[in-house]
A and B are shown apart, each in its own frame.
Chain A
Amino acid sequence: MENNQIQLTFPENEFWQWIEVYDDKVIAQFDSIRHFSDIDQENLKRFIMVHKLSNTAINIPLTDGRRLIHFYRNYVKYDLVSVEDKGHDHFRFPVVGYQITKNNTNFKVLLGLMPDGRVEVLES
Chain B
Amino acid sequence: MAAATIHIRVKYGISTEEAGDAADLNLLNSDLGSGQTPASYPITVPSVGTNYSYERKFRLKVENIGDSSRIQNLRVYADTATPSTGCTIKYGQTSSYATPVNTESLVATDAIPTSLPETENLYCGGSGGGYLGATGEYSDYGVLQLVVDTTATSGGNATITVAYDEVA
**A interacts with B:** yes
CA separation between A35 and B167, bound complex, in Å? 8
- Whether a CB of chain A sits under 8 angstroms from the CB of B101 is no
Contacts of B167 in A (CB 8 A): 36, 70-72
- Whether a CB of chain A sits under 8 angstroms from the CB of B18 is no
Chain A: residues with Cβ within 8 Å of the partner, total of 33
Residue of A74, A80, A83 near B163 (CB, 8 A) is A74
Interface class of chain B by DSSP: loop
Also in contact, A78 and B159, with CB within 8 A (given A29-B1, A85-B26, A124-B118): yes
* Cβ contacts A46-78/B at 8 Å (1 or 0 each): 000000000000000000000000111111111
- Number of residue pairs A-B, CB distance < 8 angstroms: 109
Residue of A11, A34, A70, A80 near B160 (CB, 8 A) is A80
Which 7 pairs across A and B sit closest by C-beta, in order of nearness? Answer: A72-B166, A71-B165, A76-B162, A78-B25, A80-B158, A78-B160, A124-B118
Residues of A within 8 A of B (CB): 11, 13-14, 29-30, 33-37, 70-88, 92, 95, 123-124
